[in-house]
Amino acid sequence: MSESVANNKSIPHESAHLHVTGDAAFADDISQLEGTLFIALFTSEKAHAKVISIDTSAVEASPGFISLLTTEDITGSNDCGPIIHDDPILADGVVSYIGQPIFAVIADSFLNARKAVKKAKVIYQQLDAVFDLNQADNNKSYVLPPMMLKKGDASGQLDAADCRLEGQFKVGGQEHFYLEGQIAYAVPKEDGCLHLWCSTQHPTEMQHLVAQACQLDANQVIVEMRRMGGGFGGKESQSAIFCCIASLAAKKLNRPVKCRLDRDDDMLITGKRHHFDYDYQAAFDNDGKIKSLQLKMLVGSGYSADLSGPVVTRALCHVDNAYTLDHVDLGAYCCKTNTQSNTAFRGFGGPQGAFATEYIIDNIARCIGLDALDVRKLNFYGKTENNITPYGQPVEDNVINELVAELEKSSEYRSRRKKIEAFNQSSPVIKKGLALTPVKFGISFNVVHFNQAGALVHIYTDGSVLVNHGGTEMGQGLNTKVAQVVAIELGINPKRVRATATDTSKVANTSATAASTGSDLNGKAAQDAARLIKNRLILFLAEKHAIDKGLISFANDKVHLGEKVIQFNELIQMAYEARVQLWSDGFYKTPGLHWDQEKLVGSPFYYYAYGASVSEVAIDTLTGEFKLLRADLLHDAGNSINPAIDLGQIEGGYIQGMGWLTTEELVWNDEGRLLTHAPSTYKIPAVSDCPAEFHVKLFKNQNVKDSIMRSKAVGEPPLLLGFSAFFAIRDAIASVAEYTIHPPLNAPATAEEILNAVDYCLNS
Amino acid sequence: MSVAESESVIRFILDGSVVSISNIDPSLTLLQYLRETLYRSGTKEGCAEGDCGACTVVVGEIVDGRIRLHSINACIQFVAMLHGKLLFTVESLQTAELHPVQQAMVDCHGSQCGFCTSGFVMSLFALFKTTARPDRSQINDALSGNLCRCTGYRPIIEAAAQMFEIERPDNWLTQAAQEHVSPIDEYESGLINLLESIRPEKILYLQHSGKQFFAPLAVDEFAQLIEQKPGATIVAGNTDVGLWVNKQLRDLPEVISLSQVNELKKIEVTDSEIIIGAGVSLSDAFTELVRHYPELNDLFRRFASMSIRNAGTLVGNVANGSPIGDSMPILIALNSELNLRKGKSQRKIALDQFYLGYQQKDCQPGEFIESIRIPLNNNHYQLASYKVSKRFDQDISAVCSAFVIGLDENGIIDHLRIAYGGMAATPVRAKNTEQVLLGKQWSEASVEIARQKLNEDFSPLSDVRASSAYRLKVAQNLITRFFLESQSEHSDQVIDLAGVSS
């Protein structure tokens, strides 16, 4: 399907042989200690209410009941907000959404805990609840102050251009649906300490929040995390509540306590991708060149801030996507509603920002009767001019023009466009659509100080190597890549290198594995550690053999000293006996970043990753159902460390992005209860959604920046490739009215949404 | 039943040994038992409702002297229902080398986070053992109940093809499905002998923490028990009752399982009808139905998932009577009948008379459906059944429709039955629409009349799957689809998504 473009190898995921045998241990698979207890959470039945009384008498009489955990048991701070302290662990007096934990029941089994908690009776006094973003905006009810990003003179240019468009559209949220639900297992240790095994992208934050909740020092809490069964952002901040509850219960009872969630509870309690309502005015010339863009984004934050601040910052910094926008006036409003607190999700606001401009360009093209691809190409960033983003960072590594040109050719975009138009002429029921959409995605945390990482490398006397770093493995292949980096640095087979569980007692003060930075940061830190050891070995050999250091090299499990060759194992044994330190730490911080969060200007990104996709779909104009017929993806992963793993991220991201914009619909009822809280009602892509024709390639490129092996981050950017599926659907719908009407299609484009848009176009 | 005539030990075969279990809660799920008692943590809980496939295991039985395997969801299966069967979990495939299915998954980079992987491996293992060189649609079918959030499925689909290319020591376990049936080898004959050695000979009766579970062997005994215990829950595949236990945390004081009643597992085909017993799985029932009604193949592919179809029964779907059960519209349109039985007395009822209201049926306490009788298409009627849902695989219908039409030599409609699911409190016929069309020419003009008339038949609900307006609109459009399809021999137009490609 794809060729390797790097010298580096497509070795299997380091745990692949464990995944397929069922031997890979997830948090719930770790042998439980004798005396382990289990938690079930009582969650709010009202969207906004005062809690008047809680009757737990029947709960306490229930079989297997051990204890309750209430706000009174929280000795430290009742807060697990990652940035703003507005996120109680347990609701204290007032509940803010249906699903918010109020108290916990601890019992001798998972089932007994769940049965007991159902017997509680809570009386509420209802307060006014807000669910609609417009209503929250009218009330000026936000979880954070509004954020504005302006450049040039957007309103002035609005009148100067040839054409104008305005309108509204929406994009829905997205449930992470990590296959492994949230889980934390807390075990009390001597001297008040705690050891936690949990499923989290951010062990350090779990350590700190648990310490604060339990009134412990950070050095009393160890968080260990071998692997997650998927994260996608949902286990960045939102694993905290479960870690805190398990820890508080373990402290209270001095027993091991497990907090594992049933899927429905998980979906009811935790936040999702932010949904956005957009209102825009755009001006452009007759050829499609965008002159001005004014965009108001109402952001569904839910009841608390969580990560809405940085999510929305990234959204604002991605409205440009791959396009030069000289005159923009962008505003984002984090609306407070009585629903789950929305959080990080692959792309972290970037997809929602870029989606807006893609939607508007789709409309511009239809206005002037051009293929949307031509309008896109006309507006792409230049390489050395027309390359300043709205937030002031120059785009210095732009490859979007050549990347899209290559994909346009390899996908046979133009000839397929003609074929599709002909097909649609003669097919009244089934209509086809085609779209090509680009991606430019900024890599680095928008918060400068998060861009640091540490690692430890140990070489044991038998020549085997162990690497530990601050990143977390959630399936993205981080441990595989980091082990490869260490192997490449030491000139040894990757099979000699073992990556171990992330552990806050090994590498301290780690950043979340997020923002696609896992390999960039931790790979560099591990490389630094391996290099330090290698330099010591070189020094040792140079002295011992009186040879110039430049003549010593490491390759293929051997060390070359000019003509002489020593096995790597032998060298290590010799070095040990000569008392050379065979382990080292390593550290990395991304250079050259600066960001002014007040003014939203600076250079927040070390570099950009690029990609593009072409999707061809067919829709059924009788039912609104669609089928993805073919997808062609071309993506820039720089000099890929592991092409197979990168292709896996690209394909998986594309399908997940397509799911977000098509079948994945979140539905709340009028009382604010989430109705889609299980896979029976919330539909992520399944096997038949993978297209029959699927062409995926890496774009030949090298990072111009000194990133790890000149590769590029590949976790989040491919999610935006899924856009083309949505716009292909919109193209198919537009065909029913000869491409003259803008289909009023919101995302997700469910069958019902598609059929309504078809009917609108037919009846306009 | 007297206690002396019963046994109280559940026996099944796992990895070449007999597992004997006594004194357990009869509603303990197989997944709980595997993870918490046997410490086999390779099988995962992803949703506990049979919708994600992370808990997929493979079950075997002797059919016509050979071992037959199929995938099921361990999360909604009671351990007690494994009685007399053969079980494979992901750990069962472990030998010195990876199994070809596992090796193909590694080679194709088919796992990322790995949480869904053992479920996929088991679905692929069932495919490996049952289908020689499957095509893409057979692969899709086999994996329709397994969700993966990481890969986008492409590498797993590739592994499903590549697993047949990997050569491993040729024993039954690693022997791929053959074009020609291979003789029974030592491994398989060992399994057959083991299964014979635990063949249930008495009714299984479990009693634990105030709950009772019965798995009788003979249909008479089954009928007698149900009559004696009219409040008991009858289970066959447990694909719905499993959710009552896992999600609603209901205690089931009395459960009567028909999983051991071989007489109810029969399919009988006569000159005029197909009679499908209450114990026949959806998979087996659909295979037989498609033989006679190839038009229904696409509907049955979209019915739940492979692993649900393997466990659930057709009669269970009918008996459950959900307004969104996907088998009933076509069964009603085909004028199917039910054989009901209470103790020794039997009666027949037309399926369209069976549903009285939401969750209300013409079924007495102590009575049960013994079988369903589906007429053969001896009149050469045209028929179709369409399912509409958000997702192709494993989804619940927004609307499901079924049409059976007969035309005389002048193209006049002389037979018509139209039934819908998702449009009312029960699966139900569109009688006003049928009435207005009978005697008319089957034409575009008649379709327009029918579309309007449908408003008098239905006022559907709005819910999480669709709005009322969408349901009605689609219900009308499906009449149009049926008309277009019935005319399709006169046209080369593609009118459904199944027939379209890039």
The secondary structure of B60-91, three-state, reads EEEECCEEEEEEEEHHHCEHHHHCCCEEECHH
Question: Would you state the structure tokens that stand for residue B302, as one six-digit string?
Answer: 């979209």
Q: How far is B101 from chain A (nearest CA, A)?
A: 9
Q: Do residues B308 and B172 both lie within one domain?
A: no
Q: Do residues B72 and B218 both lie within one domain?
A: no
Cβ-nearest to B117 among A10, A12, A19: A19
As a whole number, mean pLDDT of residues A239-254 equals 98
Distance, in Å, from the CA atom of A593 to the CA atom of A606, rounded to the nearest integer, reads 7
Domain boundary among B358, B375, B392: B375
Is the pLDDT assigned to residue A544 strictly greater than 70? yes
For chain A, the C-alpha Rg in angstroms (whole number) is 27
Q: Do residues B354 and B436 both lie within one domain?
A: no
Dihedral pair phi/psi, residue B412, rounded to 5°:
-90, 140
List pLDDT tens digits, range B410-469: 999 999 999 999 999 999 999 999 999 999 999 999 999 999 999 999 999 999 999 999
> Does residue A24 form part of some domain?
no
Distance, in Å, from the CA atom of B149 to the CA atom of A719, rounded to the nearest integer, reads 12
Provide the number of structural domains found in chain A.
Answer: 3
> Does residue B499 form part of some domain?
no
List pLDDT tens digits, range B164-203: 999 998 889 999 998 777 889 999 999 999 999 999 999 9
pLDDT value at position B488?
A: 76
pLDDT value at position B4?
A: 61
List pLDDT tens digits, range B469-488: 999 999 999 999 999 999 87
> Does residue A568 form part of some domain?
yes
Provide the number of structural domains found in chain B.
Answer: 4
Is the pLDDT assigned to residue A223 strictly greater than 50? yes
Q: Is B48 on the interface with A (CB under 8 A)?
A: yes
Give the domain CATH number at B216: 3.30.43.10
> Does residue B355 form part of some domain?
yes
Q: Is B41 on the interface with A (CB under 8 A)?
A: yes
As a whole number, mean pLDDT of residues A209-221 equals 98
Distance, in Å, from the CA atom of A603 to the CA atom of A431, rounded to the nearest integer, reads 44
pLDDT value at position A4?
A: 31
Domain boundary among B217, B238, B257: B257
pLDDT tier, A6 (very low <50, low <70, confident <90, very high otherwise)? very low
Q: Do residues B191 and B241 both lie within one domain?
A: no
> Does residue A276 form part of some domain?
no
Residue A577 annotated among the catalytic residues of the structure: no
Helix (H, G, I), strand (E, B), or coil: what is residue A745? coil
Give the domain CATH number at B361: 3.30.465.10
- Residue numbers of chain B with a pLDDT score lower than 50: none
Residue B216's domain comprises 3-8+200-257
As a whole number, mean pLDDT of residues A422-428 equals 96
Question: Dihedral of CA B217/B222/B224/B226: which sign?
Answer: positive
> Does residue B502 form part of some domain?
no
Q: What string of DSSP letters covers B420-477?
A: EESSSSS-EE-HHHHHHHTTSB-SHHHHHHHHHHHHHH--PPP-SS--HHHHHHHHHH
Q: Is A738 on the interface with B (CB under 8 A)?
A: no
Distance, in Å, from the CA atom of A140 to the CA atom of A227, rounded to the nearest integer, reads 41
pLDDT value at position A5?
A: 30
Residue A73's domain comprises 32-128+176-269
> Does residue A149 form part of some domain?
no
List pLDDT tens digits, range A261-270: 999 999 999 9
Distance, in Å, from the CA atom of A176 to the CA atom of A616, rounded to the nearest integer, reads 26
pLDDT value at position B491?
A: 74
Q: Is A686 on the interface with B (CB under 8 A)?
A: yes
* pTM of this structure: 0.98
For chain B, the C-alpha Rg in angstroms (whole number) is 23
Is the pLDDT assigned to residue A3 strictly greater than 60? no
Q: Do residues B26 and B155 both lie within one domain?
A: yes
Q: Do residues B253 and B308 both lie within one domain?
A: no
pLDDT tier, A9 (very low <50, low <70, confident <90, very high otherwise)? confident
Q: Is A652 within 8 Å of B39 when comparing Cβ atoms?
A: no
Give the domain CATH number at A487: 3.30.365.10
As a whole number, mean pLDDT of residues A513-527 equals 96
Is the pLDDT assigned to residue A429 strictly greater than 70? yes
Q: Is B146 on the interface with A (CB under 8 A)?
A: yes
B28: left (phi over 0), alpha (psi -120 to 50) or beta: beta
Q: Do residues A559 and A691 both lie within one domain?
A: no
> Does residue A322 form part of some domain?
no
Q: Is B46 within 8 Å of A12 when comparing Cβ atoms?
A: no
Domain boundary among B375, B393, B422: B375
Q: What beta strand segments (E) does B79-237 contain? A: 86-88, 203-208, 211-215, 233-235
Burial class (CB in 10 A: 0-12, 13-18, 19+), B357: exposed
> Does residue A290 form part of some domain?
no
Q: Do residues A436 and A492 both lie within one domain?
A: no
Which residues in chain B have their CB less than 8 angstroms from residue A752's CB? 398, 466-467, 470
pLDDT tier, A2 (very low <50, low <70, confident <90, very high otherwise)? very low
Q: Do residues A511 and A660 both lie within one domain?
A: no
Q: Do residues A751 and A617 both lie within one domain?
A: yes
Distance, in Å, from the CA atom of A283 to the CA atom of A292, rounded to the nearest integer, reads 5
As a whole number, mean pLDDT of residues A560-564 equals 94
Domain boundary among A215, A242, A269: A269
Q: Is A687 within 8 Å of B143 when comparing Cβ atoms?
A: yes
Q: Do residues A394 and A503 both lie within one domain?
A: no
> Does residue A319 form part of some domain?
no
